[in-house]
Chain A
Amino acid sequence: MGAKAQTSDAVEAAMRPAHIVMDVERLGSLYPYPLSFMRSLLRRVMREKWQITPAIFDLCDEGYGTAVYEVVTPNALFSYVIFAKELDAAARSDRVIAQDWDMTVTLCEGRVDEARLAELKANVPLQENGRVDASCFVLSRANKSVRNFEAVVSALSQGRQPDLDAMARVGYLYRTTAVYGSGKFGMANWKKVKTRWADFASPFFAEMFSCWMIRHFSLVQVDHVAAKRNPETSVKMDERIKRYVGIGNATGLGMAPYLINHPRLINNWIWVRETALARVVTDGAVDDVSRGNFDCFALKAMQHLDEISTDNEEQNRLNANARADLERLMSWFKKTKITSWRDVACFAQDNLTIEAQELINALLLELHPDLIMDLEDSLSVNEVYSLEGGMRAGDLKALIETHYDWALQIDFSDPKRQDMFWYRSEEKMEPRLGRRFEEPGAGSEMLLGIGWYVRECYNELCAYVEANGPDMMTARFAFEYPEHRYITRRMQTMAKTRYGEIRINAIDAEVLPIQLLRCKLSFFGVGKFDPRSRMWVRNTMFQGAPLVSDIGGDFGDTWCFPIRPSLS
């Protein structure tokens, strides 16, 4: 289904079944892996030696002003435009509904001249309230971690390196609060990006690049402000610490509908990941080198988990259990002569928590990049959901019973199974969750409770088949019941995919949207999840990643599970 890469029979046989993989608790336990978008992006940037240089750097002593970076790739020249301003503390909010930010940015094609810069300056800082043209393809903003930013500037200006304990706790100087692409606010459509700008033709490359550049600018900005504050004594931040500085991110409900509204794409991402895992456990050589690498990655992952700082008790419990489970696995691994990496995956599956299983799968995926890199080109898919009107109604009924059995098992007669509804708030259309039986707005519910729509369609279809017989065409059923046309074509399409839908009842009283968020963020390459409620999560991007100044140097692509640097 859109995936170009080939798989052997043995690999096919090793792939995990949909009912395991698409369980939302498991998807909510995924860790980043080598084909996560930010990892793929930086491999390309480093391999192709993109040139990133400041064309305009007009900042005042406090670091406010304009910067434009020119980005030269093998195919084109792009500009990354940044507006940094002084922000009143009372206006600083990570919510989509905020109106002002410390930093606003855009990524656009070509060189930015004075007139174009003026146009961008009039619109980019307004974000959703501004308009840009179709040469732009990312619009984003970020807020300072004020305490961390000031502490770092203060230390550097006094000739000291930042406090690593504080950096380990927070891990970034700025948090992005929204990263828009794909045609929003007049920008270029994803199809244009994909067909016109080969450098960014992979999913979310442009958005990830923007986040990486925000991180870059934040590091430049602290050095700049520290130097201006005290030119005599200031020092620049040590590059090892710089690599440990990521970019913070706050992700809320807005991301969740994306996963439910793009089931074919998500199926494809999962298919790629599962294929990669199956290849490693099937074909990955077990030798001294790979055993040693596994040992190193496991030690790094344990330290990484130890260093995650969150107030969320459940996340702390998950991290602690995963760490303990990993230690248990390593103890078994050291005294066991495994013959294939499947032994490790099986041990995890039989003995450890889901969180630990997925952690270990992420480690396995680091071992044999040669076996999985060709899958990188299979992450995009043309998302068409066509009604198969010629299908017999009886066959459609059987299809639902086979592929949507998980949805039919939900007992919607229990009010708790439909207690929530998703809606768009009048505040910037922010997606929100409401209680169906207590709050107004259920009449404007978003179409996200897929299981419920499946059940409604199935009930009508059963009656239709009963009345008209099983040979009637689906096209006639869809004509007579237009309210079921969408879910019907969706089910017909997804039934042909390997993994199908995410198995979630998104309107359940106990739904955990952060599981969806973490799933998507893991594909982005994000780590250090810090859930703030069941509806939003803070996290850190690009921590441990190479710097812009590393382009052209050695690059090992081993920056997963970032850990505190040793400065001795």
Chain B
Amino acid sequence: MSEATRPDPAPNPGRRRALLLAPLGLAAVAGAGFYAMLRGLGSGSYDPRGVPSALLGKPPPDFALPPLEGAERPGLASADLRGGGRPVLVNFFASWCMPCVIEHPQLMRLARAGVPVLGIAYKDKPEDSLGFLRRHGNPYTRLGVDQPGRVAIDWGVYGVPETYLVDPSGLIRWRWAGPITEDTLRQDLEPLLRRHA
């Protein structure tokens, strides 16, 4: 355990020089990398928060979900996601999910601003979903019930809440796993909505 070697008193000068330069070189490489990250943050090509989705830049999978009885909204099918002339949000939620409650005011605000928010109730009893929407308000223009969670598997949903942005041409542009907080809304979603409008 005391196998430590003492520093060589007279090492090869060239090697010593290289060794002394190494910290500077490493710092420079790391600095260049950080700079590229910061540039990427600005342009959107580097995003540490986003969880990648295999569907980014692709059309959503085909599906057709029945409406939620009593919610007075039509059901949701893949055809409803395109051709509206504006970007839409697809939001997976459930009444049993705490972060969904945190996210809800932001969805309500988006709905009031006229952004089409399409809901998919994930693995939830219809009466519970209905109770949830009665308590917190209903931001969804269309609402599909995915009680077995099969459509969520096709989308690659990681957990609820999860939100996708589908652009007017029907391609998925953004995926957010976790609640949409006020910061997310301001910093991520609103710029994206403007860009894809």
Pair from one complex? no
